[in-house]
């Protein structure tokens, strides 16, 4: 098992690389999509949360081999491995998600993105096949000591307001578009995922890249009038079985799995790590289940994190674990302190960095 760190687009600098290494990270998961682009409404010091207007503005640029290699080489100077990219930019694939007119063009874009990752030596691409994206969460001071965290306290304006045509994956993809997205059925969503995996897993295999699926967070049935995909632990198996190949793997988000209304997080960890289909984990903790939960510090949630590590060890898991996100601590550096706390706990559980 390897301990990693997730860095957002605006954190790809020496200071954050040094901080990640000092926290014991050896591997980095990079968010190449700038969730905050052209959007100063929300603080960039933590994960994006947003409101009914979503996160930032997608730009759809295909990340070049050169820029990916530059990031990889700058990280390497700090003893860090560029392990994965997490998420497409919504403009790479919004018409794949919504079966729109640019679908075929976007399949070519997705193939180009994956091809460039492979050429740059980056072996994992996390993705979240989600129509409304990570939407609906609210900011609350519910973590230990009143620390700021995110969660859900029942359905709210964000989860209920219909998704506009201007948005996909909780970001703006066409600010000129008007009207509301036509509701998609759950079966249509699974059909689109089936086409996506059937067409793209071979592309990923040829590029030497593993695709890793994140579950839908919050794992409700509907968010903004659109169905959710993997919102129960057993549905991960349905996704894996569409294309039963090693390159069709999981970005296993422990927190999201624990938030789900059904299932047992320990059984899920055991089931999927036994199959060796977990590429990396979001090793974060929560309290409660949808529609009432909040993210917690790594040591104070419902999940016994030591028990999760014991299951992973028993099943010989050799992938990467990252904290994903942590509550913001009340100090001059809320994000850094929260991440350092989480990483220290992971180091103690998993081993020396
Ligand atoms: O569980 C979650 O929802 C998180 O993994 C996401 O907030 C994730 O950090 C973002 O979607 C970026 O991938």
The H or E element containing residue 267 is helix 265-274
Per-residue model confidence (pLDDT) at position 40: 85
Residue of 31, 42, 47 with the most ligand 1 atoms within 8 Å of its CB, for mutation = 47
Cβ–ligand 1 contact at 87 (below 6 Å): yes
The verdict on pTM exceeding 0.90 is: yes
Euclidean distance between the first and the last CA atom of the chain, given in angstroms as a whole number: 11
Pocket test for ligand 1, best of 212, 283, 324, 326 (most atoms within 8 A of CB): 324
Count of CB atoms situated within 10 Å of the CB of 302 = 15
Q: Does the CB atom of residue 34 touch ligand 1 within 6 A?
A: no
- pLDDT tens string for the chain (353 positions)? 999 999 999 999 999 999 999 999 999 999 999 999 998 888 888 888 878 999 999 999 999 999 999 999 999 999 999 999 999 999 999 999 999 999 999 999 999 999 999 999 999 999 999 999 999 999 999 999 999 999 999 999 999 999 999 999 999 999 999 999 999 999 999 999 999 999 999 999 999 999 999 999 999 999 999 999 999 999 999 999 999 999 999 999 999 999 999 999 999 999 999 999 999 999 999 999 999 999 999 999 999 999 999 999 999 999 999 999 999 999 999 999 999 999 999 999 997 54
Q: Which pLDDT does position 67 carry in this prediction?
A: 98
> For residue 342, how many C-alpha atoms fall within 13 Å in the half-sphere facing its CB?
30
In degrees and rounded to multiples of 5, residue 204 shows phi and psi of -65, -45
What pLDDT is recorded for position 352?
57
- Answer for the pair 274, 314: CB distance below 8 angstroms, yes or no: no
Residue 114, class by beta-carbon neighbours within 10 Å (0-12 exposed, 13-18 middle, 19+ buried)? buried
User: Is residue 115 lining ligand 1, measured as CB closer than 6 Å?
Assistant: no
| The pLDDT value given to residue 46 | 86
Of 217, 195, 62, residue with least CA distance to 130: 217
Q: Probe ligand 1: pick from 134, 219, 298, max atoms within 8 Å of CB? A: 134
Residue 277's nearest CA partner among 246, 253, 321, 255 is: 246
Q: What are the residues whose beta carbons fall under 8 Å from the beta carbon of 27, sequence distance 6 or more? A: 2, 3, 4, 5, 80, 81, 83, 320, 322
Res 102: pLDDT: 98
Domains of the chain: 2-351 (3.20.20.150)
How is residue 335 written in tokens? 């994000």
Q: What spacing in Å lies between the alpha carbon of 276 and ligand 1's midpoint?
A: 22
ipTM of the complex: 0.94
Contact 60, 255 (CB under 8 A): no
Q: Provide the pLDDT for residue 351.
A: 76
Structure tokens at 128: 């979240």
Assess whether the C-beta atom of 253 lies below 6 angstroms from ligand 1: yes
**Is there a contact between 33 and 9 (Cβ–Cβ < 8 Å)?**
yes
Alpha helices in 145-264 (DSSP H): 157-160, 186-207, 235-242, 254-259
Considering only CA atoms, which residue is closest to atom 1 of ligand 1? Answer: 256
Quick one: tokens of 173? 């993809």
Tell whether ligand 1 has an atom less than 6 A from the beta carbon of residue 326: no
Distance 215 CA to ligand 1 centre (A): 9
Q: How far is CA 258 from CA 213, 275, 290, 302, in A?
A: 16, 20, 9, 8
pLDDT at 43: 80
């Amino acid at each position: 098992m390897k301990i990693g760190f997730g860095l957002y687009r605006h954190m790809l600098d020496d200071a954050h690389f040094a901080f990640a290494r000092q926290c014991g990270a050896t591997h980095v998961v990079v968010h190449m999509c700038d969730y905050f682009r052209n959007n100063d409404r929300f603080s960039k010091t933590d994960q994006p949360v947003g409101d009914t207007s979503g996160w930032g503005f997608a730009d759809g640029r295909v990340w070049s081999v050169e820029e990916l290699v530059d990031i990889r080489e700058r990280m390497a100077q700090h003893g860090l491995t560029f392990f994965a990219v997490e998420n497409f930019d919504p403009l790479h694939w919004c018409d794949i998600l919504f079966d729109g007119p640019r679908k075929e063009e976007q399949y070519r874009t997705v193939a180009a993105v994956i091809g460039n990752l492979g050429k740059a030596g980056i072996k994992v691409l996390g993705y979240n096949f989600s129509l409304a994206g990570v939407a609906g969460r609210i900011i609350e001071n519910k973590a230990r000591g009143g620390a700021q965290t995110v969660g859900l306290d029942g359905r709210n304006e964000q989860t209920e307001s219909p998704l506009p045509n201007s948005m996909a994956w909780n970001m703006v993809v066409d600010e000129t578009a008007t009207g509301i997205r036509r509701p998609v059925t759950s079966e249509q969503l699974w059909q689109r995922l089936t086409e996506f995996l059937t067409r793209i897993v071979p592309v990923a295999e040829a590029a030497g890249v593993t695709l890793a699926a994140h579950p839908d967070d919050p794992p409700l049935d509907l968010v903004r009038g659109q169905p959710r995909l993997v919102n129960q632990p057993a549905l991960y198996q349905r996704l894996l079985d569409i294309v039963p190949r090693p390159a069709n793997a999981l970005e296993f988000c422990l927190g999201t799995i624990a938030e789900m209304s059904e299932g047992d997080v320990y059984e899920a960890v055991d089931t999927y790590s036994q199959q060796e289909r977990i590429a990396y984990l979001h090793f974060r903790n929560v309290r409660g289940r949808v529609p009432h939960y909040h993210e917690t510090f790594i040591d104070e949630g419902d999940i016994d994190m030591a028990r999760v590590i014991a299951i992973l060890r028993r099943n010989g898991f050799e992938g990467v674990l990252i904290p994903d996100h942590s509550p913001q601590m009340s100090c001059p550096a809320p994000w850094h302190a929260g991440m350092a706390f989480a990483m220290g706990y992971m180091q103690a559980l998993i081993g020396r960095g």
